[in-house]
Homo-oligomer: A and B are copies of this chain.
């Protein structure tokens, strides 16, 4: 057994390698359909500054780079290899990598423990035996490997070059990629991302321990289907959450999902009840999709911790405000009523309550002007009975105003008001399922993100995330007392 620090060192070679080889490139096949070539091109174009080698039996050239027939032909030291050749060649490859002194290998290739034919598992064990002989660590097999923007290393196109402080580890390659894109598009950036597939060698416990101690990582996010070591995972998660928030999307939580997971990553999913209690007792924030995961991260990064669940809802439009209130309350938030004094203060601003709601929700028509909106919000901004503020824009409800104008005035008004409070606050921009071709919903949502607000597309998602984050802080406080 290795000590933890050995593994840490070796994982560092995957995230920050000095030299990388892609195994399975070729000079002959059409570029689009060869995984090795695609990995090589993607890492190259992402601007990896270290040494990048193409390896493949064909020899020749790929994108102006020599293709080496074997890793043994590479003239320099080699830290990290990305493997995209058929499974049957793996034992020999690992042997050669051992001789070459490779530290860590990412196996994109599938056809090991996850397939129904038992030969897959036999092959996996054989490969691991050789790897252990040479002290090589294995990521995967059957996974996408590593994305580390700080090292300019990537597993996919359209990933941000900006580095952040969120780590993401995902048993599924697809969920890993979906999650990174979901996050990047919402202004969330990563320290290190790893898709770990079958977890034949490096497993979920190793990775949680690694990210717990990783100084680049302040928030850990996890997509997981199953584990082979529940007790160790529990200890690792508990230790992690005592240092930083951990958000877990546990999938394969139903009968259908469990069947799928076995075929996908050979994961033994385990009972959902067991998982639920494991995750709750380790104070993990549990979510049910990548979207919900980065809803929670958005709040963790963009809002101070809410002190309670009492929520002030500020929106426009009666029906929208009624629905926003329902969605907040149904998601576990409370909505205390404004005091009579505050209501009088609001009446003094607008002179009438016709067409407005002055209760909580507070319905402010942005078309009465920014000054009136500011004056009205001042009445409630410091309300000691509100722990958080949910601002709601519903531009699709407007009968006559051109869309560009409507989207601008609603988002501008709510951003102005949100800047007036120090409470945790979110801005919800209600969007329809399919928007019109003008792109205003998307453009407006991006403006909210770019200006640093915690932006959500529905009240339900914002309220659910607020509740989850509150519960997490609350449990952490109770635990540390």
Contact = CB atoms under 8 A, between A and B. Distances in A.
A233 to B, nearest CB: 18
A367 B352 CA distance: 62
Contacts of A144: 399
Interface in A106-147: 110-111, 114-117, 120, 142, 144
Interface in A2-55: 32-33, 35, 38-39, 41-42
A360 B326 contact: no
A360 B432 contact: no
Given A432-B291, A446-B434, A264 B318 contact: yes
A347 to B, nearest CB: 9
Contacts of A177: 396-399
A360 B178 contact: no
Nearest to A41: B400
Task: Count copies of this chain in the complex.
Answer: 2
A335 B255 contact: yes
Contact of A259 (B42, B320, B337, B442): B337
A225 interface: yes
A439 interface: yes
A263 B358 contact: yes
Contact of A264 (B38, B264, B321): B321
Contact of A400 (B142, B157, B398): B157
Contacts of A207: none
A172 B256 contact: no
B325 A172 contact: no
A260 B325 CA distance: 7
Given A111-B352, A319-B170, A439 B439 contact: yes
A123 to B, nearest CB: 11
Contact of A257 (B142, B255, B259, B326): B326
Interface stretch (A61-69, A96-104, A246-254, A413-421): A246-254
A162 to B, nearest CB: 15
Contact of A185 (B172, B255, B353, B434): B434
Contacts of A451: none
A200 interface: no
B433 A255 contact: no
B434 A442 contact: yes
Given A156-B399, A318-B174, A329 B255 contact: yes
A461 to B, nearest CB: 9
A319 B87 contact: no
Nearest to A354: B111
A174 B363 CA distance: 13
Nearest to A443: B437
B434 A263 contact: no
Given A116-B353, A353-B116, A319 B400 contact: no
Contacts of A158: 403, 436
Contacts of A120: 354
Q: Among A223, A291, A396, which residue has the most Cβ atoms of chain B within 10 A?
A: A396
B320 A174 contact: yes
Contacts of A356: 263
Interface of A: 32-33, 35, 38-39, 41-42, 87, 110-111, 114-117, 120, 142, 144, 155-158, 170-178, 181-182, 185-186, 223, 225, 251-257, 259-261, 263-265, 288-289, 291, 294, 313, 317-323, 325-326, 328-330, 334-335, 337, 352-361, 363, 367, 394, 396-403, 430, 432-437, 439, 442, 445-446, 449, 457-458
7 contacts: A39-B400, A42-B400, A181-B432, A182-B433, A185-B436, A223-B319, A260-B359
List 5 A-B pairs, minimum CB-CB distance, nearest first.
A172-B319, A264-B318, A256-B325, A254-B329, A174-B397
